[in-house]
Amino acid sequence: MKKKIINKYMKFPTALAAAKGGAALAVEWLVPLLDANGKDDALLLAAADKKRAETVGDSVHLRGLIEFSNYCRKNCHYCGLRKENNKINRYRLSKEEILETALKAEKLGYKTIVLQSGEDLHFSADAMSKIIKELKNKTKLAVTLSLGERDEETYFAWKKAGADRYLLRIETTDPVIFKKIHPDSDLEYRKNCLYVLKKLGYQLGSGVMVGLPGQDALSLAKDIIWLNNLGVEMIGIGPFLPHKETPLKDEKGGTLAQALRLIAVLRLVFPYSHMPATTAMGTIDPMGREKALQAGANVMMPNITPTAVRPLYEIYPNKICLDESADKCFGCVTARIIGLGRTVGTDYGDVVRQIRNPKLEIRNNKDK
């Protein structure tokens, strides 16, 4: 006798109703949304755009991104900055250059800067603390850090120095995929970094890469459930874009459609979170950032790194906005936002704390 195959996943309309109604998170309705196509896809994106308007409103918050070092101790298989890529020239901005860039950003109207680098231990707990303190003394900027995995003492020192927010993407919570793409990272260690950051009181950002080899809608659904348990407040989504100087160079990349669907589902699950329309989406499609803003995103991160070094921060290939000065970039993104009938945020765009029931399991973090 033939076994009856039971599809445990809901039909799309029921799944969308569950998402809109704030149902408890379950793969049964997350998967059909993440797999939506055609008309269903359009309905999902429209629902997310509506939810965004009702919750975080029409403001788009700008975060000025300063990529201050492309040195990295790690060898992530998807990243052009990986240690073993000896085809790129490495650079570090000095403390003075970082401060000068941040001051210019504040003059232009930015309220937040994001200090991002590879995992570069040259910027020790102490060195970074000095930079953060000086930034906080000389400006009114909110400071977001995106410096990878460090130990608890270091995260504590940076928080004490005045850092407000931290971004650390988990990329995937699937242990097999995580191991395949991170030869020198440990999933549990990365998770624990995020628990520690949360415990220390940072406004916390994480996120995933979409379109990774071996990843499917179920794997993404499980990522979403984990992000919810973490109590994440800002969520960054990046499509996987193969870089020719990495071991994943021959893999198929992620698509804008996948990224937009994921943003839309995340907006329905995390109505008040901050979500960027990333440069990577603008790299896949000239209108990619606009499309993301219409699928639930409410943040943009213009690159304000000095143009002399900007092309050297090549995590993924064919990055856009490499030549424009900071003020041109500011004008360009402002025009794009206004073109969508939206407004540029004039406040700090701090997180709205509405997180449901994070489950924290904190161990001691020590730099490996």
Nearest to 272 by CA among 231, 244, 240, 304: 231
> CB neighbours of 54 closer than 8 A, spacing ≥ 6?
271
- Report yes or no: 71 and 309 within 8 Å, Cβ to Cβ: no
Q: Which is nearer to ligand SF4, 79 or 210 (CB)?
A: 79
**Per-residue contact string for residues 296-315; x = within reach of ligand SF4 by CB under 6 A:** -------------------x
- Report yes or no: 141 and 135 within 8 Å, Cβ to Cβ: yes
Minimum CB–partner distance for residue 68 and ligand SF4 (Å): 12
Q: Which amino acid is at 238?
A: G
Q: Which is nearer to ligand SF4, 18 or 196 (CB)?
A: 196
> Both tokens of residue 280?
């990577």
Q: Which amino acid is at 104?
A: K
Minimum CB–partner distance for residue 90 and ligand SF4 (Å): 12
- Per CB under 6 A, contacts with ligand SF4 among 140-179 are 148
- Per CB under 6 A, contacts with ligand SF4 among 112-131 are 118-119
CA dihedral of 135, 138, 142, 143, whole degrees rounded to 10: 0
User: How distant, in Å, are the alpha carbons of 4, 86, 270, 350, 359 from that of 205?
Assistant: 43, 30, 12, 12, 16
Minimum CB–partner distance for residue 73 and ligand SF4 (Å): 7
Minimum CB–partner distance for residue 357 and ligand SF4 (Å): 30
Distance CA 287, CA 339 (A): 12
> CB neighbours of 330 closer than 8 A, spacing ≥ 6?
62, 108, 109, 110, 302
Q: Which is nearer to ligand SF4, 81 or 237 (CB)?
A: 81
Q: Which is nearer to ligand SF4, 247 or 358 (CB)?
A: 247
User: How distant, in Å, are the alpha carbons of 92, 139, 204 from that of 38?
Assistant: 46, 48, 34
Which residue bears the tokens 């988990």?
Answer: 170
Minimum CB–partner distance for residue 296 and ligand SF4 (Å): 24
Number of residues that bind ligand SF4 (CB under 6 A): 10
Distance CA 89, CA 70 (A): 9
Minimum CB–partner distance for residue 353 and ligand SF4 (Å): 28
Minimum CB–partner distance for residue 97 and ligand SF4 (Å): 19
Minimum CB–partner distance for residue 127 and ligand SF4 (Å): 18
Q: Which is nearer to ligand SF4, 83 or 95 (CB)?
A: 83
Q: What are phi and psi of 171, to 5 degrees?
A: 70, -55
Q: Which is nearer to ligand SF4, 111 or 169 (CB)?
A: 169
Q: Which is nearer to ligand SF4, 118 or 282 (CB)?
A: 118
Minimum CB–partner distance for residue 76 and ligand SF4 (Å): 3
Minimum CB–partner distance for residue 214 and ligand SF4 (Å): 18
- Three-class SS state of 263: helix
Q: Which is nearer to ligand SF4, 61 or 82 (CB)?
A: 82
The DSSP secondary structure of 138-192, one letter per residue, reads: H---EEEEE-----HHHHHHHHHHT--EEE---B---HHHHHHH-TT--HHHHHH
Q: Which is nearer to ligand SF4, 82 or 291 (CB)?
A: 82
- Per CB under 6 A, contacts with ligand SF4 among 56-85 are 72, 74, 76, 79, 81-82
Q: Which is nearer to ligand SF4, 160 or 249 (CB)?
A: 249
Distance of CA 52 to the CA centre of its chain: 17
What residue ranges bind ligand SF4 (CB under 6 A)? 72, 74, 76, 79, 81-82, 118-119, 148, 315
